[in-house]
Chains A and B, each alone.
Chain A
Amino acid sequence: MADPLRSLAACVLGALLALAWLAPLVANDKPLWADARDVQAAQLAQVELGAALDQYRTALAADAAATQASTAWTELERAWEQAAARSSAPESEVARVRSTMTDCAKRPERLVDVQRLLAPWLENLELPRVRRMVGSPVLASVDSGALLRLALLPVLACLVFWTARGRLPDGHRLWWALGLAASTVLVWVGLQAVQQPELARVDTYRVERAQVHVDRVLWPLVQHGPAQTQLSEAWSAPGGYTRPNPHWLGTDGLGRDALSRLLHGSAISLEIALLAGAVALALGWLIGTTCGLLGGWFDTLCVRLMETLASIPFLFLAIVVLALVRGRVVPSVTVALLVAAVAWVPVARLVRAQTLVERAREHVQALRVVGIPEGWILLRHILPATLPAAATAAAFLAGSAVGVEAALSWLGLATTIPQPTWGALAGEAGGLERWWLWLPPSLLVALTCACLLVLGDRREEPRS
Chain B
Amino acid sequence: MSARLVRLLLRLLVRWAITVPLVVLIVVLAFRLAPGDVRALHSEGAEGRTATESLSSQRFAEEHLLDASVWRQYAHALGPFDLSPRGHRWFGGDGTRPWHGLLALEFGTEWSRPQVRIRDELAQRALTTVPLALGAFVVALLLALPVSVWLALLSTAPRGRYVARLVSTFLLLLDALPGFALALLLVALLGPQGTNWFPATGLDSREPQLPFLLDRAWHLVLPVLALSLGGIAHLARQLSTNLLQLEREEWMRAARANGLTRAQALRRHALPHALPPLIGLFGGALPALVSGAVVVETVFALQGLGSYATEAVLARDLSIVLATCTLAAVVAVVGSVLADELVRSLDPRSRQGDVTHG
Contact = CB atoms under 8 A, between A and B. Distances in A.
Interface of B is mostly: helix
A403 B178 contact: yes
A442 B23 contact: no
Contact of B295 (A321, A325, A410): A410
Interface of A is mostly: helix
B288 to A, nearest CB: 8
B294 A411 contact: yes
B151 interface: no
Interface stretch (B84-92, B111-119, B221-229, B320-328): B320-328
Interface in B320-343: 321, 324-325, 328-329, 331-333, 335-336
A321 B321 CA distance: 11
A432 B291 CA distance: 22
B19 A308 contact: yes
Interface residues of A, number: 45
Contacts of A449: 175-178
B198 interface: no
A445 B173 CA distance: 10
Interface stretch (B39-47, B251-259, B308-316): B308-316
B3 to A, nearest CB: 23
A313 interface: yes
Contact of B23 (A312, A324, A406, A410): A312
A423 B179 CA distance: 11
B294 A316 contact: yes
B106 to A, nearest CB: 21
Interface in A287-346: 304, 307-308, 310-317, 319-321, 323-328
A448 B175 CA distance: 12
Contact of B33 (A308, A325, A411, A446): A325
Contacts of A448: 176
B21 to A, nearest CB: 10
B284 interface: yes
A147 to B, nearest CB: 31
B181 A446 contact: yes
Contact of B177 (A328, A413, A427, A442): A442
Given A307-B336, A410-B295, 4 more contacts: A325-B30, A407-B178, A411-B310, A446-B176
Interface residues of B, number: 50
B70 to A, nearest CB: 14
B176 A403 contact: yes
A438 interface: yes
A426 B287 CA distance: 25
A443 B172 CA distance: 13
Interface in A410-464: 410-411, 413, 423, 426-427, 432-433, 435, 438-439, 442-443, 445-450, 453-454
11 contacts: A310-B336, A311-B336, A313-B325, A316-B324, A323-B313, A324-B34, A325-B33, A403-B176, A432-B187, A446-B178, A449-B176
Contacts of A316: 290-291, 294, 309, 324-325, 328
A414 B329 CA distance: 22
Contact of A311 (B19, B33, B313, B316): B19
A325 B31 CA distance: 8
B269 to A, nearest CB: 20
A310 B177 CA distance: 22
B180 A442 contact: yes
B172 A319 contact: no
Contacts of B184: 432, 438, 442
A399 interface: yes
A407 B180 contact: yes
B345 to A, nearest CB: 19
Nearest to B181: A442
B18 interface: yes
Interface of A: 304, 307-308, 310-317, 319-321, 323-328, 399, 403, 406-407, 410-411, 413, 423, 426-427, 432-433, 435, 438-439, 442-443, 445-450, 453-454
Contacts of A403: 176, 178-179
Interface of B: 15, 18-19, 22-23, 26-27, 30-31, 33-35, 172-173, 175-181, 184-185, 187-188, 191, 193, 284, 287, 290-292, 294-295, 298, 309-310, 313-314, 316, 321, 324-325, 328-329, 331-333, 335-336
Given A315-B294, A317-B325, A321-B26, A445 B181 contact: yes
Chain A to chain B: the 9 pairs with minimum beta-carbon distance, closest first: A315-B291, A442-B181, A449-B176, A324-B34, A313-B328, A450-B176, A311-B336, A446-B177, A324-B30
A29 to B, nearest CB: 29
Contact of B178 (A320, A325, A442): A442
Contacts of A310: 284, 336
B245 to A, nearest CB: 9
A426 B180 contact: yes
A349 to B, nearest CB: 11
A327 to B, nearest CB: 6
Given A311-B329, A313-B291, A442-B184, A324 B176 contact: no
Nearest to B238: A457
B332 A312 contact: yes
Contacts of A439: 181
Nearest to A458: B241
Contacts of A312: 19, 22-23, 287, 329, 332
B181 A313 contact: no
Given A445-B178, A450-B175, A320 B294 contact: no
Nearest to B34: A324
Contacts of B179: 403, 407
A445 B175 CA distance: 11
A247 to B, nearest CB: 21
Contact of B30 (A320, A410, A447, A450): A320
A454 B171 CA distance: 12
B313 A438 contact: no
A313 B290 contact: yes
B34 A325 contact: yes
Contact of A313 (B34, B313, B332): B332
Nearest to A323: B313
A312 B327 CA distance: 11
Contact of B193 (A327, A427, A432, A450): A432
